[in-house]
Amino acid sequence: MNGQRVRALRGATTLDHDDRQHLIERTQELMAAVFERNGLVEEDLISIVFTATDDVHAAFPAEAAREAGITHVPLLCARELEIDGGIGRCIRILVHAYTDRGARELRHVYLHEARQLRTDLPE
């Protein structure tokens, strides 16, 4: 891919309530922010792994990607570990993509209540 490297990007968001449309909106907001902040387009994507905490039941987070038109990229949903003191109604993503950016230039994205997971990152 023209000298590009495979990189991984992380992100997370939270839901105010377990509702399908809300989950789709928040997940699409997260994906859009990761793509925008890192200059990614769909053709750069290799795969996306989504996780959700045990209190998310309304929909698969990957549905948000499909509804956004991402159809040729492998997507996988899994359950997040249930850890005491963890954040509830949390959706996380791990995006694998081709990029010219170095590892220190990548912008991981944490939105809403998930910001507390990475207070070291700029908003």
Q: How far apart are CA 44 and CA 50, in angstroms?
A: 18
Catalytic choice (77, 98, 101, 115): 77
Q: Is 107 a catalytic residue?
A: no
Q: Is 66 a catalytic residue?
A: yes
Structure tokens at 66: 């499909």
Catalytic choice (66, 67, 79, 105): 66
Q: Is 26 a catalytic residue?
A: no
Q: Is 90 a catalytic residue?
A: no
Q: Is 98 a catalytic residue?
A: no
Catalytic choice (26, 63, 90, 110): 110
Catalytic choice (26, 63, 80, 90): 80
Give the helix/strand (H/E) hosting 8.
strand 5-14
Catalytic choice (10, 101, 107, 115): 10
List the beta bridge partners of residue 47.
96
Q: Is 20 a catalytic residue?
A: no
Among residues 12, 23, 17, the alpha carbon closest in space to that of 64 is found at 23
Distance of CA 80 to the CA centre of its chain: 13
Q: Which positions are catalytic?
A: 10, 66, 77, 80, 92, 110, 118
